[in-house]
A and B are shown apart, each in its own frame.
Chain A
Amino acid sequence: MNWSGLENLLSGVNKYSTAFGRIWLSMVFVFRVLVFVVAAQRVWGDESKDFVCNTRQPGCTNVCYDHIFPISHIRLWALQLIFVTCPSLMVMAHVKLREGKDAKYVALHQGSHLYANPGKKRGGLWWTYLLSLVFKAGFDTSFLYILYRIYHGYDLPKLSKCSIEPCPNTVDCFISRPTEKKIFMLFMVISSALCILMCICEMIYLIGKRISKLLRIRHENERLLFAEQHELTNMAPPRSQYRKTDPTLAGSQLSLTKREKIRENSATTTL
């Protein structure tokens, strides 16, 4: 199985992630995909062949195996890894879209860019990134819940009893390598939980950063408004005579912000 293909695809996403996102990606690839490929698949390799029931009734073993393992852990984890890594592709697609739009703008407007940095998380891309985090956490949580429900709480008993047709009576069935399977299951569950935690931390960090930025801007505007209304001179002299502009904004996005407008007004007020 070509997990390296997926890895290549996702290493591109690393550029546009926050620090938490990079840690998340490394965790997923080192602790989950690598362990899954190297170890877990070997442990579950003989799950069907070495599943024995204390009966000679043909078909009883098949039926009991199907009842105890509706879906194998390995398949569930493979699906979980595929679903969990997909939302990052949404972010990549959005950045590619922005780059495409930027290229078209450059071609039409001779050199000036629409986006100074298409990968910077502003506006629509911020929302796409947040949505991808929500999806990642959501998929991980739902798969953990499905595993919990199917296997009655991350448990792998050494012995299970089964009395489904055509088993003639209640038959003892034995799983192969239950302890090793339990250890790997706990490992995968804990790493999933840590990944969910990382996603939540990243969401809090993103939202917190946004809120603090908005609060700072509002506070600044209020101060300047107060200064203007009470005909005070600038309370703190500007550090530079040049107009401070956001270097990440492109020419087309530069417009006088409220703060600059107020400053210009107060500068021209005659006392």
Chain B
Amino acid sequence: MSWPALYAQLVGANRHSTSLGKIWLSVLFIFRVMVLVVAAESVWGDEQSDFTCNTLQPGCENVCYDQFFPVSHIRLWCLQLVFVSTPTLLVAMYVAYRNHSDKKRLLQSSGRSGFLSSKGQEEELETLKKRRLPIAGALWWTYACSLVFRLLFEGGFMYALYVVYDGFQMPRLVQCDQWPCPNLVDCFISRPTEKTIFTVFMATASSICMVLNMAELAYLVAKAVTRSLCGQKERKSSRERMQNKTNQKLLVST
């Protein structure tokens, strides 16, 4: 799994995020991806080889392992991290689309006005690439949608983990009587305590990310509301000023 490639993609889109978004990205990569790679993968490395059942019946261990681990924690977390990072790419795509259309408009307008200096044009194109778009209008909606999707994915995966494994705790002993096991067989999971510790850690990091996302959404909504109120006040005051002017004119004329 090429986490550095994902990081490169996300850092590019990060320029247009709020500060909470930047904190979210750091928490994601340091406390989740790094811990997953460094620690969790080695803890779950021998989950199948060290899963032992108190039986000599061939196939019983395989069947019991499959019953209790339909999908491994590690795979679930990898999928969760991939899905949760994807909405940011929506924002990156929108920014790329905006830049592309602005570039086209710039080239067209410079062509029409006969603006020949290529250096000036290059400079303008460079600033276009490097500028930071303010989060307003369509970008605001894209960004808010990406936050909503992130929340949904995080919540969905946490819930899936909770449902599949009956909570965040890993039991030491599981009992299984699937065919071909001859009777109710005791099966022992490898390193249950360490796995529980890491499951709880990853669940906590997930919840922190969810809280950050909710805070960011609230901040965006608040910013949009204040902007529209300010806009309304300005429009009202300008309307009043116009009214005052016409009133004065009327008075003067009478």
A residues adjacent to B (C-beta < 8 A): 1-2, 5-6, 48-49, 57-59, 61-63, 65-66, 69-72, 74-75, 78-79, 82, 86, 89, 93, 97, 165-166
Contacts and interface: CB of A to CB of B under 8 A. Distances in A.
Contacts of A78: 35, 38-39
B39 A79 contact: yes
B30 A75 contact: no
B201 to A, nearest CB: 8
Tell me what chain B mostly uses at the interface: helix, strand, loop, or mixed: helix
Interface string B90-114: 0000000000000000000000000
A59 B52 CA distance: 6
Given A59-B54, A66-B172, A74-B42, A48 B193 contact: no
Given A59-B187, A59-B188, A82-B34, A70 B52 contact: no
A1 B38 contact: yes
A48 B37 contact: no
B199 interface: no
A62 B194 contact: no
A82 B52 contact: no
B211 interface: no
Contacts of A1: 34, 37-38
A48 B190 contact: yes
B37 A62 contact: no
Contacts of B54: 57-59, 166
A101 to B, nearest CB: 12
Q: List the 6 closest A-B pairs by CB distance, nearest first.
A: A59-B188, A62-B188, A70-B193, A58-B54, A78-B38, A75-B39
A111 B209 CA distance: 39
A6 B29 CA distance: 10
B190 A62 contact: yes
A57 B186 CA distance: 11
A59 B53 CA distance: 7
